[in-house]
Amino acid sequence: MKKQWWGVLLTMVILITGCTPAIPIGLENPGNLLLVEQNLTVEITFTNTITSTVTPSITPFLPSTATVTPIPPTATITPDPKLSQFGPGDVLIPILMYHHVSPNANSEYAVSIDQFRRQMQWLQDEGYQTVSIADMVTAIQVGKLLPHKPIILTFDDGFMDVYENAYPLLTELGYTATMYLIEDVINEHPYVTDDVMEELINAGWELGHHSKSHAYLPGLRNLDEEVCDSRMRLIERFNQPFDSFAYPFAAKDDKSIQVVKDCGYTSGAGNGSFTIHTEERLFFFSRREIKSYFDMQRFITTVTDVR
């Protein structure tokens, strides 16, 4: 009896409500949830779309605002490492004297080309650099910056073979020299011409005067003509100062030295054994003559012996 009553009651409830409880079927995957409610199936799809927009960060290039600070000039003079101070006062500068440089060393005054080349190459290898008589005078009187090992090369009389044989080699080595000219024989064989002199001047050679006629000066009456008037003509002719006078035959007396001073020269070239030059000896300074019979050792001693 009781079972029949419970069955009738349940049937009535179902008929009254007309429904059954919703039953979740399950989570199919993390993105989908499937719900079944009565006869309605709803599928919800979660789409995870991640849009990442990377916006590049551009740093604008700005004009430089760096301030350029001008370097103020300083009074400091950077010393040239290739130069040394010489003077004022006594200076050590070997001065060599030559006459001829010729293919045939046929006299003691004519060194051969090969001999001259070996001598000049030795000077170059030892670091000697040529300077002028004017450089020496300036160094003694007021001081001057000169190469560490200065040397002066002088050629007396103005022979053409010096231009032909010594000049090309010296130019090759970056050397210059001083040539003492005799006015009366310029353009005469075997002496240099005006054109040759122009070339040597343009190459940086220094010119000195060696008198009008190569006269023996001691006791000479017409000293002014040989020493002074002739000099003025050469100054005008070559537009060079001709500040140094070489005594012919290295012969002088008190009067000729005085005339050289009075004419306005700044030095007088003689011969002698000194390589240290002084104010007192400026008007008969020492030159060491290189003779054709010198071997290399004699040449080296001549250059390097200090006195």
Which of residues 135 and 156 has its CB atom nearest to Zn ion in the complex? Answer: 156
Give the binding site for Zn ion (CB under 5 A): 156-157
Q: Which residue, 244, 259, 219, 255, is CA-closest to 95?
A: 244
* Closer residue to Zn ion in complex, CB, 90/225: 225
Nearer to Zn ion, 140 or 260 (CB): 260
Do the bridges between strand 267-269 and strand 244-246 make them parallel or antiparallel, or are there none, so unpaired? parallel
Shorter beta-carbon distance to Zn ion: residue 35 or 250: 250
Residue 250 CB, shortest distance to Zn ion, in Å, is 8
Closest to Zn ion by CB, 123 vs 196, is 196
Compute the least distance from the CB of residue 75 to Zn ion, in Å. Answer: 48
In the complex, minimum distance from the CB of residue 208 to Zn ion, in angstroms, rounded to a whole number: 11
Q: How far is the CB of 157 from Zn ion (least distance, A)?
A: 4
Q: CB nearest Zn ion: which residue?
A: 156
Please state, in angstroms and rounded to a whole number, the distance separating the CA atoms of residues 170 and 49.
90
CB of 186 to Zn ion, least distance (A): 14
